[in-house]
Structure 1
Amino acid sequence: MEAHDLKKLAAILSESDQYRVTEKYKKPEFYNTDDSSDKLIGVFLDIEATGLSCNKDKLIELGMVKFEYTQDGRIFSLLDEFSSYQDPNMPIPEVISKLTGITDDMVKGHQINENEVASYLEDVDIIIAHNAGFDRVFLEMTFPNIALKAWGCSMYDIDWKIEGISSHKLEYIAYKYNFFFKGHRAIVDCLAGIHILAQELLNSRQAVLKQLLVNALAVRFKLYANNSPYESKDLLKARGYKWSMNQNDKHRAWYIELTEDKVAEEINYLRSNIYGGSSINIPVEIFDAYSRFSGNDKQLLDPLKHQEKLEWFQSLCLG
């Protein structure tokens, strides 16, 4: 069947409420035409690894795709790509090979040059990944001398749930935007990620990339409800707190991550509903786009950068 016949058939099916038609991803020449706005350079990055543990698993594929964008969230041209395998010097688990299609023979003898990665990222204003907490940690572990960059996450810096998208998986989000792709290969995932960023959010109609930039570039406070009464755990869970399971967390406690505008309200809630005292001791970590998602203390910025915000936070706790 010819391509034009398939398009006609797809149009007929789409008009019916009995079918939903999704289209295979096709790399566009551009998303918006050039104008006089100042362009920034973003990169979508994706890493495939032998597993999920940054301590025992290794990177096996790195993919990156640059794109032009403006601060209002418009994406323009797709730029150059970077794609390479890395020999992990360990067998790739069968489940990973089945998931990614990457075998031991494909990566054997391959080594990604750190200087080439650094050079590729030199002019980049922000790195975006779909689960930046995974990708950034593996990038830092593999290439410890890469310069600090701002990071954003297309999984967590978009409120997909409020937009009517119930799953954070990249393939499912693509489906909701009426396209599909073969996932778990680095460059393909990067191109699909950028394609999603170039869309409008389904309910708010804001540019996807615009919401990501606003959320990624905000200063964030990670509050630990240290020594909270055991009976308060249901209250904390209902409010959005999570139990600290990450090996890089400095406290074993219920925690929540908030933007600055929500901090004062949260301190008042903890004082009134959890601790019952006028003065409370709440440990906090303050992040920005350069330090967020990092698993390496050496990559974190000088704490004095946020000294004023820390003092303000401590004054709230004192009541």
Structure 2
Amino acid sequence: MTTGLTQFDLFGEEPVFRPATRTVKRKRAPRWDAEEAAVRLEESGDYRVLRKLVPRPVINREDSAFPRLAVLIDTETTGLNHARDEVIEVGAVAFTYDDDGNVGDVVGVYNSLSEPSGPIPPEITRLTGITDEMVAGQVLDVWGLERLVEPADLVIAHNAGFDRPFCEKLSPVFVPKAWACSVREIGWSELGFEGSKLGYLVGQAGLFHDGHRATDDCHALLEVLARSRDAGTKPPFAELLQASARSKVRIFAENSPFDMKDHLKARGYRWSDGSDGRPKAWWTEIDETLYDEELHYLRTEIYRWNDASPLTVKLTAQDRFKAR
């Protein structure tokens, strides 16, 4: 006789009871939009967000609608003296632009290492991250650098007074070029930036990057030059382009009275000890349009002689930042 109960074999294996299972549907976490989160943080007014700098894509020169060509260049060296020290890395980024100072497209990127004649000083390795092992057997590709720079209308460095002498030592292609300095020829404070060091500029432009390697710094500088801090204002590159086109005058206040040195220093004059081939004197560099005003100042406040004629050198973008 059977009943509604299940019949078990008393001599068989012990039955296993398995509880009924339920399929639990897990709720999917909403997709997290990083950029949306960054914008919301910024809009709160309590946060500043830095975005990772992504280099612009490289396109063919003929595909860019912008007519002019500039090259950003950065050198890493074994020291500060171009006559004695050596280049261990060169980075460059070529980009197009128009006459209004609008940045166009990246049309070339260059990077090359070079083994110096001796060990890299430890302080240079700490600063640049470049080791003796990295440059061992490396030879600078000068031909590739010349091919990138030769058609450029303008060469830009973030301390052209340092980079230009080293570059001219590498190749004569740099000698006749118009140069611009993104440290000295842009009024960064007037544009709302605190300081002119590249790291400060990049951070205040809302970006971060792997600094101190030459090509990385060129990409970073390009983004800073191309971005306006406020809507409706021109980008820093427009100011740099205008400044590079203006003629400058370098005035040497030779034989100025010793007790006038503090007055000259307060006005922005710098001291040259004559070791670099310049006259041993206080000197300044101003726009050519300000020359008459500066000459009047020197004659009335410093020399106190109406016929004083301090040494004056006119400079264009082709002449500025050369080694003296």
Task: Output the aligned Cα RMSD.
Answer: 2.6
**1:138-217, aligned counterparts within 5 Å?**
138-144=166-172, 146-200=174-228, 205-217=233-245
CA distance in 1, matches of 2:65, 2:105: 13
| Conservation of the 8 A alpha-carbon contact between 1:42 and 1:127 | yes
The partner residue of 1:131 within 159, 162, 177 is 159
Give the superposition deviation at 1:163. Answer: 2.2
Letter in 1 for 2:39: A
CA distance in 1, matches of 2:43, 2:104: 31
Aligned-partner residue type, residue 132 of structure 1 = A
Normalized per residue, which structure has more helix? 1
1:99 counterpart (127, 143, 153)? 127
Name the SS for the 1:161 alignment partner: coil
Is residue 220 from structure 1 mapped to residue 211 from structure 2 by the alignment?
A: no
Structure 1 residue identity aligned to 2:199? E
1:104-125 alpha-carbon deviations (Å, 9 max, x no partner): 1111111124333222212111
The answer (yes or no) to whether the contact 2:251–2:310 under 8 Å persists in 1 is: yes
Deviations 1:254-276 (A, max 9, x none): 11101111000010111111111
Alignment of 1:281-292 (within 5 A): 281-292=309-320
The structure-2 alpha-carbon separation of the partners of 1:131 and 1:194, relative to structure 1 and needing over 3 Å to count, comes to same
Residues 1:89 and 2:117 aligned together: yes
CA-CA distance at 1:215 after TM superposition: 0.8
Q: 159-168 vs 90-99, which deviates more?
A: 159-168
The TM-score, its normalising length taken from structure 2, stands at: 0.84
| Cα separation, 2, equivalents of 1:246 and 1:209 | 34
TM superposition shift of 1:35? 11
Q: Does structure 1 retain, via aligned residues, the 8 Å contact 2:112–2:141?
A: no
CA deviation after TM superposition for structure 1 residue 4, in Å: 4.5
CA gap 1:4/1:147 in 2 versus in 1, 3 angstroms: farther
The residue aligned with 1:235 is 263
- 8 A Cα contact 2:64 2:104, kept in partner: no
The aligned amino acid for 1:254 is: W
When residues 47 and 35 of structure 1 are mapped into structure 2, their CA distance, relative to the original with a 3 A threshold, is closer
Q: Work out which of the residue numbers 149, 172, 177 in structure 2 matches 1:121.
A: 149
TM-score, normalised via structure 1 length: 0.85
Higher mean C-alpha deviation, range 123-132 or range 134-143 = 134-143
Equivalent pairs counted in the alignment come to 294
Gaps of 5+ in 2: 1-28
Whole-Å separation in 2 of the counterparts to 1:88 and 1:202: 44
CA deviations on 1:210-263 (whole Å, 9 max, x unpaired) are 110111121111001111111211211221111125743421111110111100
Larger Rg over CA atoms: 2
In the aligned structure 2, how far is the partner of 1:165 from the partner of 1:79?
A: 28
8 A contact 1:66–1:78 mirrored in 2 = yes
- Name the stretch that deviates more: 199-208 or 229-238: 199-208
Match of 1:50 in 2: 78
